[in-house]
């Protein structure tokens, strides 16, 4: 499932590094909308309500359709698939994307403290822009 996983060093003042993970499920893994909905569901507002503001963009990168989201709040995803325990990380940001390729979608997910994710915004954008089919 995980093609690659990277630790992105924290910004000054943030408590931890960000994490960038690339997933590939062999041509499956759910629809774009289902993944966007799941990712948005991993974030909450400070009062525990669902996040209401999500930046969503669709672009074409080197002939590939890419759907990106950007959402901030409290990160409440499972600590591992199927786990009963959940993260509870306030002031987090999640940037994620689905890259649609002829061999199936790739999923890219960046999570971490807001300042740290902001520190890596350009690198994330450059990484997405570098996607191509070989």
**If you write DSSP's letter for every residue of 67-106 in order, what string do you get?**
EEEEEEEEE--BSSTT-S-B--EEEEEEEEEEEEETTEEE
Looking at the domain assignment, is residue 101 inside a domain?
yes
pLDDT of 58 higher than 90: yes
Q: Considering the entire predicted model, what is its pTM? A: 0.93
Overall average pLDDT of the 57-61 stretch: 96
Q: Band of the pLDDT at 82, cuts 50, 70, 90?
A: confident
Looking at the domain assignment, is residue 24 inside a domain?
yes
Strands (E), 25-82: 43-44, 55-61, 64-75
Percent of the chain with pLDDT over 70: 100
**Residue environment code for 32-61, b if the CB has 16+ CB neighbours within 10 A, otherwise e:** beebbeebbebbbeeeeeebeebeeeeeee
State the total domains in the chain: 1
Place of tokens 């901030």: 72
Q: What is the CATH number of the domain that holds 26?
A: 3.40.1000.10
Please state, rounded to an integer, the average pLDDT across all residues of the chain: 94
Looking at the domain assignment, is residue 29 inside a domain?
yes
Tokens representing 130 are: 């570098």
Looking at the domain assignment, is residue 30 inside a domain?
yes
Q: Band of the pLDDT at 126, cuts 50, 70, 90?
A: very high
Q: What local confidence, expressed as pLDDT, does residue 80 receive?
A: 86
How far apart CA 107 and CA 56 sit, in angstroms, is: 15
How far apart CA 30 and CA 98 sit, in angstroms, is: 10
Q: Band of the pLDDT at 3, cuts 50, 70, 90?
A: very high
**Which of the pair, 67 or 45, is modelled with greater confidence?**
67
Instruction: Provide the residue range defining the domain that includes 118.
Output: 2-80+87-129
Beta bridge partners of 74: 44
């Amino acid at each position: 499932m995980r093609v690659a996983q990277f630790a992105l060093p924290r910004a000054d003042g943030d408590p931890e590094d960000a994490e960038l993970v690339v997933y590939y499920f062999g041509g499956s893994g759910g629809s774009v909308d289902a993944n966007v909905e799941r990712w948005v569901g991993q974030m909450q507002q400070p009062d525990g309500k669902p996040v209401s503001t999500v930046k969503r963009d669709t672009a074409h990168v080197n002939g590939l359709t890419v759907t990106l989201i950007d959402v901030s709040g409290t990160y409440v995803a499972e600590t591992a698939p199927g786990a009963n325990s959940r993260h509870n990380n306030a002031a987090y940001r999640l940037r994620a994307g689905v890259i649609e390729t002829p061999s199936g979608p790739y999923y890219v997910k960046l999570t971490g403290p807001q300042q740290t994710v902001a520190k890596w915004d350009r690198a994330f954008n450059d990484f997405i822009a570098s996607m191509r089919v070989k």
